[in-house]
Structure 1
Amino acid sequence: MVTQSLDDSLQPPAADSGPFPAAGGCQPPADLRQQVRQYDERAAVGTWPGPRYRMIHRTLGQGPALIWLPGIAATYRTYALVLNRLGEGFRTIQYEYPGDRKGDGARLGRITHDHLVDDLIGLMDHLDIGRAHLAGISFGSTIALKALERAPERFSRTVVQGAFAHRRFTAAERLALFLGRRVPGTVARLPLRQTILAYNNKMDFPRIIEDRWPFYLEENGQTQIRALAHRASLVARLDLRPSLARIDAEILLVQGRDDRIVPHRYFEELKAALPRSESVVMPTVGHIPHITHAESLAKLIGDWLLTCEPASCTRDPAAGTAPCGAGGQDGAACPARAWANGSGDQVHDRKPLA
């Protein structure tokens, strides 16, 4: 295994104001609420009347299809900044899980984790997407991993962040799961919610982006309790470890070094089990880089999924769905891979890709 370091531009939140920080200085961080307004203005909203619920989906950008699989407790707005940036080079699609929206028709007690994979593939068929990249965030990574094992012909390179193949729940988490099935409303009404979120995540919001903390609390608080409890119950029964060795897909594992939600041992477990994985550890980053380091995360994902600049690719990434490959035109080095040879604290582990 080769260990490399990544570009310094991945680290400081101060650089998170545009896709490429200006040379010679940092720009101020982007305004998340303004980014949400921009996303709402530009993204196309659609509905798929699927077999289990009416799914709301949002599409932004043109290019290779990139389906964004959200975390366990988030609204679409929390991903606005990262998808605004990725939308510059991809056709990004994000969608809501069953129970996220009142009146969506979901009967949560009947919906299994396998059904969530069925719904992902069903949405692709509905949108006439033959093959797509995936980006799975925490809980979304479990859907991505199972989809790659079940239908590898439908997916190209995939990125997962804060990923896991199984989770051990604490006694407090099991109690919350039990109560959550019986309490209506949103998680904003749950006692100690802000205290727990602050313990797990507040350290990831330095002063320069401290205005993002209230935004995060507001959006997290809009999660429906029963929907969250349903997804947590799926995780409690899930164990993907036996199938990992059968996933013959190129996967980038992204982990925040300071992640308190998904411990580092789960990251190491995936690294050891997935035969064609690469991995990145982002320093000074916790569990939610899509909020604290959105620009950096978008650049990392975009550069890895399209392994060379579209203008330099022998193959046209917009015409197909497979990545460009390791080299540029006529075997030349790919410009978009230049960050992999930069300097910084990020650790980049690569296994040979057969």
Structure 2
Amino acid sequence: MADNPEIGRRILAAGIATNCHDLGEGQPVVLIHGSGPGVSAYANWRLTMPALAKRMRVVAPDILGFGYTETPPHTRFSMPLWLDHLIGIIDALDLGRVHVVGNSFGGALALALAAKAPERVGKLVLMGAAGIDFPITDGLDMVWGYEPSIETMRRMIALFSYDQSRATEELATLRYKASIRPGVQEAFSALFPAPRQRWVSALATPEAEIAAIDKPALIVHGREDRVIPPSNAERLFRLLPRAELHMFGQCGHWTQLEHADRFNSLVGDFLAGAA
């Protein structure tokens, strides 16, 4: 495991042994990954972390239920539980006020943090974000209902990407193997059991609370996203009083991978700029 790039440092956060990447210096930014099968902070942010770490301190944890973070037996997953874990990470590393970048599920968690604990948040970046109520897409239902096989993983990667050449056998095999590590599928299947529309709602912050978030916010979305609808980004843009919106064309759910250089530049400039 020592040569596995998905393994960072081990910290105790809210009583949970948590896998966390921590690199760079300066103003801390916390990167919160999405909820796909086999996901980890490294898998989600591997092209983002080194770019942002040139300008600030980057912390990218595996949130409870995902990656290489401990999942205690009989855990009942919920937004309050994930929020407690995220705050525990911030406290364990003594980060103080942080910028937050959230992808998909991570966007919902970032929104919840900004709404419930605004004193902990500087700026907010929401990429392909959940966090508001919407009719579940076929794509998201497929992601949350994943049953392990290389073929299913290949179709999942194709779903995430506009550029279908990304759905390679190598990537499908790597993510499939990550999804079948001991205990991983058991934990994943407990995250969002059917009927899954209720979990979209459970991740949502009330619109009145979103409208009260007085933080600079950058909303990023792929126009061809088939997992989280682009209309989410437009709704968040209307709700958040200090928001700006960037929509990438020819881009699916993986903006940070499909348009890595432009995404890193856009987010880095936004976070480094004056509030």
Tell me if TM exceeds 0.5. yes
Q: Report how far residue 176 of structure 1 moved.
A: 7.7
Task: Give the distance between the partners of 2:60 and 2:69, measured in 1 at CA.
Answer: 19
CA contact (8 A) 2:139 2:226 kept: no
Task: Give the distance between the partners of 1:201 and 1:250, measured in 2 at CA.
Answer: 27
Counterpart for residue 241 of structure 1: 206
CA contact (8 A) 1:61 1:91 kept: yes
Counterpart for residue 135 of structure 2: 168
Which of residues 253, 259, 262 is equivalent to 2:225? Answer: 259
Which of residues 184, 187, 191 is equivalent to 1:227? Answer: 187
Which of residues 75, 78, 96 is equivalent to 2:40? Answer: 75
Q: Report how far residue 167 of structure 1 moved.
A: 4.0
Kindly indicate whether residue 24 of structure 2 is the aligned counterpart of residue 58 of structure 1.
no
Instruction: For residues 243-284 of structure 1, give each alpha carbon's deviation from its aligned partner in whole angstroms, at most 9, with x where no partner exists.
Output: 211211111000111111111221121112112211111122
Task: Give the distance between the partners of 1:262 and 1:80, measured in 2 at CA.
Answer: 21
Alignment of 1:83-122 (within 5 A): 83-101=49-67, 104-107=70-73, 109-122=75-88
CA contact (8 A) 1:260 1:287 kept: yes
CA contact (8 A) 2:214 2:242 kept: yes
Distance 1:153 1:219, change over 3 A: farther
What TM-score does the superposition give when structure 1 sets the normalisation length? 0.65
Per chain length, whose mean CA-contact separation is higher, i.e. which structure has more relative contact order (CA < 8 Å, sep 6+)?
1
Distance 1:108 1:253, change over 3 A: farther
Which of residues 137, 143, 155 is equivalent to 1:195? Answer: 155
Q: Report how far residue 240 of structure 1 moved.
A: 1.6
Gaps of 5+ in 1: 1-36, 181-186, 308-323, 326-354
Task: Give me the CA root mean square deviation.
Answer: 2.9
CA contact (8 A) 1:48 1:54 kept: yes
Task: Give the distance between the partners of 1:117 and 1:67, measured in 2 at CA.
Answer: 13
Identity among equivalent pairs (%): 24
SS at match of 1:169: coil
> Whose Rg is larger?
1
Q: Report how far residue 101 of structure 1 moved.
A: 4.8
Distance 1:127 1:108, change over 3 A: same
Distance 1:106 1:191, change over 3 A: farther
CA contact (8 A) 2:29 2:100 kept: yes
Task: Give the distance between the partners of 1:76 and 1:172, measured in 2 at CA.
Answer: 21
Task: Give the distance between the partners of 1:295 and 1:285, measured in 2 at CA.
Answer: 14
Counterpart for residue 116 of structure 2: 150
Alignment of 1:342-353 (within 5 A): none
Which of residues 296, 316, 331 is equivalent to 2:262? Answer: 296
What TM-score does the superposition give when structure 2 sets the normalisation length? 0.81
Task: Give the distance between the partners of 2:120 and 2:216, measured in 1 at CA.
Answer: 13
Q: State the one-letter code of the partner of 1:72.
A: S
Kindly indicate whether residue 236 of structure 2 is the aligned counterpart of residue 281 of structure 1.
no
Counterpart for residue 321 of structure 1: none
Q: Report how far residue 114 of structure 1 moved.
A: 1.1
